[in-house]
């Protein structure tokens, strides 16, 4: 699946292409996609393909095409504080993007069949938390992953506001998937070769919308134990945050608001300098007149003696602008983590500073 948009040179260009093609349509989804580099979830030998609109699979590792993830994120209509269940959570790429939108008071769970993929997802999650500046730009709902077959979830498990299944669902399992959803919730899954959005409007009422044609590998059927009983999957418990953790969230939020106000004041109540636009240059062209007379063609040219000088000046000006542009592109401004700088400047004991920064690396 994929190939709907052009490949990008980097993650931002890929997102630009998805926006232009209307796969990404809302600001929240765009921010989440830009915050997490898709290439970080590829094995090193395959990173060259990370910014192509193509699915990737190697052994048990799999990523859907960017255009598919875009449609999924838009269809889920994610909001802060919701609960999310990812069936076939894979590398954790989608779960991490969702976590940026759910915020610190959401619930973010994933079920994955293969234990090696779970370990890979945990490694990628740890790398994102420790090293990405995007982590400090959001309040993150960290995903929790469990190993098991998503068709064997314990019947006493809680229901969720949003559910996504990343494998083809057979018609016989449609009701099972719906049972995982709260009233008012949204389920997105590949059903009968169509990416389908199902909204639970009441205890037994549903609205169904087909989004686009897709081709997904089907869900793997459970393999029962020798006793004939299925291996029930117990989802992570929904826990209440500690007072210490809540205090950290509140302090970080206050610092972010202070930083935002300081930057607004510095820029004149948020009004930045107007962007510089490149002056549109109009070239002077020589005028040619074609005259038809008695089946013969005569061409006359009206020229300006100053044209040649003007053209030379314009070419020289273009050359200078290209050189200046090249120099500026070679020296981009380094990104600044304002939250980290502010926390480290506070008159606090170092252990408390590092706690506020989640013990992250610089």
Please provide residue 70's backbone torsions phi and psi, each rounded to the nearest 5 degrees. Answer: -60, -50
- Pull the structure tokens for residue 334: 């380094």
d(CA 43, CA 124): 11
d(CA 178, CA 162): 11
The C-alpha angle 274, 277, 278, rounded to 5 degrees, equals 155
H-helix segments, the chain: 11-20, 27-35, 66-76, 93-102, 115-131, 134-137, 174-178, 243-266, 307-330, 338-345, 350-356
Strand order from edge to edge, sheet including 181-191: 144-147, 107-112, 83-87, 160-165, 181-191, 194-202, 205-213
Beta strands 287-293 and 296-302, pairing class: antiparallel
Q: Beta partners for 57?
A: 62
The C-alpha angle 213, 26, 76, rounded to 5 degrees, equals 50
Beta strands 83-87 and 107-112, pairing class: parallel
303 is catalytic: no
The DSSP letter of residue 171 is G
d(CA 305, CA 351): 76
d(CA 239, CA 233): 18
Q: Is the dihedral of CA 344, 346, 349, 354 positive or negative?
A: negative
Of 158, 149, 210, residue with least CA distance to 179 = 158
Q: One of 6, 64, 95, 345 is an active-site residue; which one?
A: 64
H-helix segments, 142-202: 174-178
Helix orientation angle between 27-35 and 93-102, rounded to the nearest 10 degrees: 130
Where in the sequence numbering do the catalytic residues fall? 64
């Amino acid at each position: 699946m994929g190939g709907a948009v052009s490949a990008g040179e980097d993650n931002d260009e890929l997102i630009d292409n998805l926006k232009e093609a209307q796969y990404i349509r809302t600001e929240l989804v765009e921010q989440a996609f830009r915050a997490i580099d898709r290439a970080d979830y590829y094995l090193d030998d395959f990173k060259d393909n990370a910014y192509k609109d193509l699915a990737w699979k190697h052994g048990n590792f799999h990523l859907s095409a960017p255009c598919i993830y875009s449609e999924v994120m838009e269809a889920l209509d994610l909001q802060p504080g919701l609960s999310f269940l990812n069936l076939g959570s894979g590398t954790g790429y989608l779960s991490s993007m969702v976590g940026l939108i759910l915020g610190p008071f959401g619930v973010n769970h994933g079920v994955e069949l293969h234990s090696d993929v779970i370990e890979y997802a945990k490694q990628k999650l740890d790398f994102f938390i420790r090293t990405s500046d995007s982590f400090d730009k959001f309040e993150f709902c960290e995903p929790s992953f469990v190993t098991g077959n998503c068709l064997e979830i314990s019947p006493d498990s809680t229901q969720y506001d949003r559910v996504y299944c990343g494998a083809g669902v057979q018609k016989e399992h449609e009701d099972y998937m719906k049972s995982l959803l709260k009233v008012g919730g949204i389920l997105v899954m590949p059903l009968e070769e169509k990416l389908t959005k199902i909204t639970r409007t009441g205890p037994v009422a549903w609205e169904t919308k087909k989004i686009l044609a897709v081709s997904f590998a089907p869900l793997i059927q459970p393999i029962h134990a020798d006793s004939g009983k299925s291996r029930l999957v117990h989802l992570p418990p929904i826990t209440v945050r500690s007072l210490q953790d809540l205090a950290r969230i509140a302090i970080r939020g206050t610092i972010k608001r202070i930083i935002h106000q300081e930057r607004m004041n510095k820029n004149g109540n948020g009004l930045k300098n107007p962007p510089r636009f490149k002056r549109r240059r109009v070239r002077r062209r020589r005028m040619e007149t074609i005259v038809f007379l008695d089946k013969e063609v005569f061409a006359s040219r009206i020229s300006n003696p100053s044209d040649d000088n003007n053209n030379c000046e314009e070419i020289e000006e273009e050359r200078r602008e290209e050189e200046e542009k090249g120099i500026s592109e070679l020296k981009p401004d380094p990104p600044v983590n304002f939250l980290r700088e502010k926390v480290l400047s506070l008159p606090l004991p170092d252990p408390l500073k590092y706690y506020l920064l989640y013990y992250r690396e610089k």
